Structure 1
Amino acid sequence: MKTLAIAALVALSSLATFNTHAQTAAPAAVAKNDALYQALGGKPGLQALMDVFVAGLKADKRIGEQFKDTKSSFLASQLVDQVCMVTGGPCKYDGADMKTAHADMGITRANFNALVEVLQVSMDARNIPFSTQNQLLALLAPMHRDIVTAK
């Protein structure tokens, strides 16, 4: 199993789903150039990926309930902006920082891992190369510290 990928995906999903509760951002490390952003297909590629990802989150039996009241288009848009920014793209993510957004949600490591798995499946469905997936997950993985708050 892609352990690093799982951690990063969970962070990403959790971020996008629950960021409606805050106003300021403090995302993961930002890429120093836009090579990863370009490898993911720029903004159109990210939008396509996040559309698949959000649909997968909502359909997932393990964590779908957490996303049932989240507007899919809003969540996807927030995720696109965040991933665009952290991968060196021109977007500005203005959602909540992860710690604030997830403080009272009781997200477990199992929840986080399920989210990452959905992201991996989504990237596979979009034919994103494994090395590109790993680069993205490596940027997103540190978010788990602020997202996982329950055992």
Structure 2
Amino acid sequence: MTKTLFERLGGRDGISNIVDDTVENHMNNPEVNARFLPFKDRPEHLAIIKQHTIDFFSAGSGGPATYKGKDMVTAHTGMGITPAEYMHVVDDIFAALDKNGIDEDSKKDVLSVLWSLKGMIISK
């Protein structure tokens, strides 16, 4: 039987580590960190965003989770995210996947998910 993407990402703990590493990458990425650094002063809000992200990827990758956050269009409307910023975010996610030892096939599946969300996030 084939493992779900959720399982291949290390389950909830693995996804949590990937989200933590991704956020850290965003904070250190000069191309997108202006969007993320303000959350350092609002750790309770950052924790909510991280939890929503963990739930979103857990539910969307076949895990036993329920995402209760906003839909992608609503969550990103008014942010004016550019295609270049989106690509930097994808790069940060892939650096986190590499750091966590995620295999190439799983990374391709993650890329497929990220690509499917692109139109809901950019310039809304």
Q: Common fold, TM-score beyond 0.5?
A: yes
Which structure's relative contact order is higher, taking Cα pairs within 8 Å and 6+ residues apart?
Answer: 1
Q: Does 1:114 align with 2:88?
A: yes
Which residues of structure 1 form unaligned runs of 5+? 1-32
TM-fit CA distance, 1:66 = 0.3
Structure 2 partner of 1:146: 120
Equivalent runs, 1:1-150 vs 2, <5 Å? 35-70=4-39, 71=43, 72-149=46-123
Query: Contact 2:6 / 2:58 at 8 angstroms: preserved in 1?
Result: yes
Query: Contact 1:112 / 1:148 at 8 angstroms: preserved in 2?
Result: yes
Query: Contact 1:106 / 1:148 at 8 angstroms: preserved in 2?
Result: yes
Q: TM-score, normalised by structure 2?
A: 0.88
TM-fit CA distance, 1:140 = 2.7
Which residues of structure 2 form unaligned runs of 5+? none
User: Matches of 1:43 and 1:131 in 2, distance apart?
Assistant: 19
Distance change in 2, residues 1:35/1:148 (3 Å): same
CA RMSD between the two structures: 1.6
Q: Which has the larger radius of gyration?
A: 2
User: Matches of 2:21 and 2:122 in 1, distance apart?
Assistant: 23
Structure with higher helix content:
2
- Aligned-partner residue type, residue 136 of structure 1: V
- Aligned-partner residue type, residue 41 of structure 1: G
Count of aligned positions: 118
Identity level (%) = 25
TM-fit CA distance, 1:34 = 6.2
